Chain A
């Protein structure tokens, strides 16, 4: 089953979505990320795992410049991230992000949450933005909630709205930072279903998650981080059945019981 899914999700051979070379980051004296190197092709789906504090969030937040790196290069969709604000804005428009705690705008309705950025950032006419929003709300299966406020929705519904909100900007790449770890177990599936669907449609995705079922089903690479370094990366089957590194084995034995 996983195989058929894999096949339909074509990975580009030539188009590079993200390229990170010799990248390091410090908080004061603390070296959070050490010499990170990897390349993500268009259409690739990467799952990042690792113990708490290993720098997973920091890494993906560097990709849309929510955090600044101090050394090395990050190139996203052909734009290198430097202090050039224009480039940063360009990258952010192409990269969607989903947070652990949803971060919906509580003072706006679901529809307004979805149309705000398209209207103000992309200058889409309101009517068109609403049509697009409705389309994505249908895709995440909650069109009937359009006029409610985020606080009136369940956690799972809020996270699906957050995904739809990112999609409304029509991004090339989606970043997920533990999208299901603030959710009750019965809501995790509804969010993962949406993410699987997104992967099948060919979205380039980087997901920090400990949902190993999801990793097996959609990822074409799993990266394992520890103490600010990527210490191992492999295809999911290999990664789970034949981990190389001692820390990886230890980590897997903990999360797979």
Chain B
């Protein structure tokens, strides 16, 4: 064998041939499509059907929202055109109502300011690179809710014109309900989850009963109870604000769900973590706050966000108790004044859906980002 490599054999090549490019079929877009979309006859058929469905949906959407949409007009008449799409001037005309409800126009700056401050604080709190989380967290979770309430409601010591909560509406109300529900339910849910795992029988049973009671009832019922039945139990003359009643209902309802999600996270924490904390002499609160919760909450971010998205959409149910949220405002405006045309309700609901989607999609993306970021990935 070794001998033949020395001797020169006429049919053995002496120089290496340059590398040839990989066959076209396995590389680039064509290759990708081959392996992923057209790998078999069945797959090819599915691909073609899906492509057709996507095409039809996108084409329809495009045509409705832009292609055959009406962009200018002063009343329903302009939109009563055969085969026309969205009626955007209607949204433009009723926009303020959809965003602010019956809030007085001269005072729009108050919800605007609240929203801007809230957005800035949330941004500071939610961006990991920005330091000072204790401060931004405290401001957003403790100071902001009260400041926001007094700024938007006015009256009393504020020196601002009083705007009773019955006048709040539209997207503004939706955000008030959603943000309060999400933020206020979180600590309650965590406490309930911890309580449910407590070794003290009384604490444990109270938490179990509370959680199971609220989870066993539809939100609609909760809201009904809050607005119709709660006043019956309270002493005569106490007039609880309708919005506050709804907020309490939504918060406690969500807290029960949060509790179960958090409990799942607590269960996933290895027993050794508790033992290590105990062995170091930490007490229950130190171990829970410093060791168990940080790990458990990280595990349940997807579940919490899922709950939040769910709640954000369920805020539309407050219309049951006479509050006019974004969807309610859209609905109410589809038949008012001159704005009547077949395309107008569709446009309104399309607009509402778009706003809901933007908010929920943002939440969902943010949770994915946080999940990736928090994943130190290295478990013991």
**Could you tell me the dominant secondary structure of chain B's interface residues?**
helix
A169 at the interface (CB under 8 A from B): yes
Bound CA span A97–B272, Å: 12
A203 at the interface (CB under 8 A from B): no
| 8 Å CB interface, B344-380 against A | 376-380
Question: Which of A99, A102, A107, A150 neighbours the largest number of chain B CB atoms within 10 Å of its CB?
Answer: A107
Bound CA span A117–B298, Å: 22
**Nearest CB in chain B: distance from A116 CB, A:** 6
Total A-B contacts with CB atoms under 8 angstroms apart: 74
Chain A residues whose CB sits within 8 angstroms of the CB of B290 once the complex forms = 116, 120
Q: Which of B136-144, B275-283, B308-316 contacts A (4 or more CB under 8 A)?
A: B275-283
Question: Which one of B282, B286, B380 lies within 8 Å of A101 (CB-CB)?
Answer: B380
**Nearest CB in chain A: distance from B192 CB, A:** 23
Q: Nearest B residue to A149 by beta-carbon distance?
A: B376
Bound CA span A116–B279, Å: 13
Bound CA span A121–B298, Å: 25
| 8 Å CB interface, A62-116 against B | 64-66, 89, 92-93, 95-97, 99, 101-107, 116
| Interface bin, chain A | 20 to 34
Chain B residues whose CB sits within 8 angstroms of the CB of A150 once the complex forms = 378, 380
B378 lies within 8 A of A66 (CB): no
A105 lies within 8 A of B291 (CB): yes
A117 lies within 8 A of B280 (CB): yes
B92 at the interface (CB under 8 A from A): no
Q: Nearest A residue to B270 by beta-carbon distance?
A: A103
A244 at the interface (CB under 8 A from B): no
Question: Which one of B276, B280, B281, B376 lies within 8 Å of A107 (CB-CB)?
Answer: B376
A125 at the interface (CB under 8 A from B): no
| Interface bin, chain B | 20 to 34
Bound CA span A97–B278, Å: 10
| 8 Å CB interface, B294-319 against A | 294-295, 298
Chain B residues whose CB sits within 8 angstroms of the CB of A101 once the complex forms = 272, 380
Contact pattern, B 282-294, Cβ under 8 Å of A = 1, otherwise 0: 1100100011001
Given A99-B272, A99-B275, A99-B276, A151-B377 contact (CB < 8 Å): yes
A165 at the interface (CB under 8 A from B): yes
Q: Nearest A residue to B289 by beta-carbon distance?
A: A120
Bound CA span A93–B282, Å: 9
**Nearest CB in chain A: distance from B357 CB, A:** 33
A105 lies within 8 A of B279 (CB): no
Given A101-B272, A103-B272, A66-B279 contact (CB < 8 Å): yes
A103 lies within 8 A of B281 (CB): no
A103 lies within 8 A of B273 (CB): yes
Chain B residues whose CB sits within 8 angstroms of the CB of A102 once the complex forms = 380
Show the binding face of A for B, using Cβ within 8 Å: 64-66, 89, 92-93, 95-97, 99, 101-107, 116-117, 120-121, 149-152, 158, 165-166, 169
Show the binding face of B for A, using Cβ within 8 Å: 270, 272-273, 275-276, 278-283, 286, 290-291, 294-295, 298, 376-380
- Give 19 CB contacts A-B under 8 Å: A64-B278, A66-B275, A66-B279, A89-B281, A92-B280, A96-B279, A99-B272, A99-B275, A103-B272, A103-B275, A103-B276, A104-B276, A107-B295, A107-B376, A120-B290, A149-B376, A150-B378, A158-B380, A169-B281
In addition to A64-B278, A66-B278, A105-B291, 18 A-B residue pairs with Cβ atoms within 8 Å of each other are A65-B278, A96-B279, A99-B272, A103-B273, A103-B276, A104-B380, A105-B276, A107-B294, A107-B295, A120-B282, A121-B280, A150-B380, A151-B376, A151-B380, A152-B378, A158-B380, A166-B279, A166-B280
